Amino acid sequence: AEFEPASSELAGSAWDVISYNNGKEAVISVLLDTALTAVFDADGQVSGSAGCNTYLGPYTTDGDAITIGPLAATRKLCADPEVMDQEEAYLTAMETAATYKITGDMMEMRTEDGALVATFSRMEEAEE
């Protein structure tokens, strides 16, 4: 088996969200049977799944500083109101990110005052 060190570059990376700030002074886990994702492309766009809708928006980085947004999402009606609440809270939280730190296959984003925005796990790469 060959092992390659995980990249610490944000551009060209894809992440599953483990937990996010719900805007009510709490960091909570993603709802069961939903997936929140974030894909950062090399052209300065972030996109992914917000639970049942998809989203897209710009991002910029400078060292460990990050600015995200404004984010736009599709407007599909989700069957579960909890999923819609999760989407709104996650997208709002993402736009508050001021710093990011990648450690191996994990990433944390924090606000300017150090509050946790979200934690992420690097997506498994698809088999070719």
User: Tens digit of pLDDT per residue, the chain (128 long)?
Assistant: 554 545 568 999 999 999 999 999 899 999 999 999 999 999 999 999 999 999 999 999 999 999 999 999 999 988 899 999 999 999 999 999 999 999 999 999 999 999 999 999 999 764 44
Which pLDDT belongs to residue 7?
56
How far is 62 from 121, CA to CA, in rounded Å?
22
Cα–Cα distance list, 69 to 21, 62, 72, 82, 96 (Å): 17, 15, 8, 23, 9
**Is the pTM here over 0.75, yes or no?**
yes
